[in-house]
């Protein structure tokens, strides 16, 4: 049964975004699935599929015009598009970091600037920003990605202060490790650096690869179900942890010196 709630989701080609499209469509939402390459969405059953690059204002504008022409509104925005590149700050490629920040941070702001005026017209809206537990504590050789997710925390908190008069809510979802293409993409982006035996940080890279190979990952379907339930709430909290291992939950509450001690040993 349709509930006439229009949900626009970015980054739907794989992972949480894709699974969220499926679940919300099954629950009767009007789902607008978007991706940089719209052909990646061809087997999704949703109300509308659109090409959308969150780093390109023109791409966003074209997509927004289509959504408003079809449905007259956007009730919920899920800022899901994002990826990771890894490397020690001393030697990571700065252009790679800029490209990642363009998606993970400025892409979210681009979408906010496009969608909020439409939500304000209706005096209603929800903005769901997909952050990461890495936005709560840092790990060596992952500093650039962590910085992008710390930024998502700040963006979400700012939105609540700026938009509460318009009945527009905002939250940040903080997932733990999820079994998606995320780590494959990260390796593709960072492999040359992280496999270099000449690096001063080679022991960090080797330890990180070993840790990731043994890491327990949550099925994206399970994570998407939790996020779908959060979306359906009439009032949403400032932040939600999703599929976060107990060790991570404990780590974020440690004093800085204790957390750093364990991270150095890892």
Q: Is 145 a catalytic residue?
A: yes
Is residue 136 classed exposed, middle or buried when 0-12, 13-18 and 19+ CB atoms within 10 A define those classes?
Answer: buried
- Kind and range of the H or E element at 110? helix 107-122
The residues facing 32 across adjacent strands are 8, 48
Nearest of 88, 86, 84, 89 to residue 104 by alpha carbon:
84
Nearest-angstrom CA–CA distance, 76 and 232: 10
Active-site annotation holder among 145, 150, 201, 240: 145
Q: Is 136 a catalytic residue?
A: no
Helix (H, G, I), strand (E, B) or coil at 202: helix
Structural tokens at position 16: 């949480």
| 3-state helix, strand and coil shares in percent for the chain, rounded to the nearest 5 | 55, 15, 35
* Residues labelled catalytic: 145, 149
């Amino acid at each position: 049964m349709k509930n006439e709630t229009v949900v626009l989701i970015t980054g739907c080609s794989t992972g949480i975004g894709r699974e969220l499209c499926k679940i919300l469509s099954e629950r009767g939402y009007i789902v607008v699935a978007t991706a940089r390459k719209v052909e990646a969405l061809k087997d999704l059953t949703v109300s509308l599929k659109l090409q959308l690059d969150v780093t390109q204002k023109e791409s966003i504008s074209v997509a927004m015009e289509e959504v408003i022409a079809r449905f007259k509104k956007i009730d919920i925005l899920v800022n899901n598009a994002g990826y990771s590149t890894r490397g020690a700050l001393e030697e990571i490629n700065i252009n790679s970091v800029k490209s990642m920040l363009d998606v993970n941070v400025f892409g979210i702001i681009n979408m906010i600037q496009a969608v909020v005026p439409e939500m304000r017209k209706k005096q209603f809206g929800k903005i769901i920003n997909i952050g990461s537990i890495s936005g709560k504590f840092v790990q060596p050789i992952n500093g650039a990605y962590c910085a992008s997710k710390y930024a998502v925390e700040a963006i979400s908190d700012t939105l609540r202060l700026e938009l509460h008069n318009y009945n527009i809510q905002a939250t940040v979802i903080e997932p733990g490790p999820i079994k998606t293409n995320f780590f494959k993409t990260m390796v593709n982006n960072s492999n040359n650096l992280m496999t270099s035996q000449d690096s001063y940080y080679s022991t960090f890279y080797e330890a990180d690869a070993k840790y990731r190979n043994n890491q327990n990952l949550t099925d994206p379907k399970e994570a998407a179900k939790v996020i779908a339930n959060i979306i359906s709430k009439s009032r949403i909290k400032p932040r939600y942890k999703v599929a976060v291992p107990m060790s991570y939950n404990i780590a974020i509450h440690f004093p800085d010196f204790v957390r750093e001690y364990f991270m150095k040993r890892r």
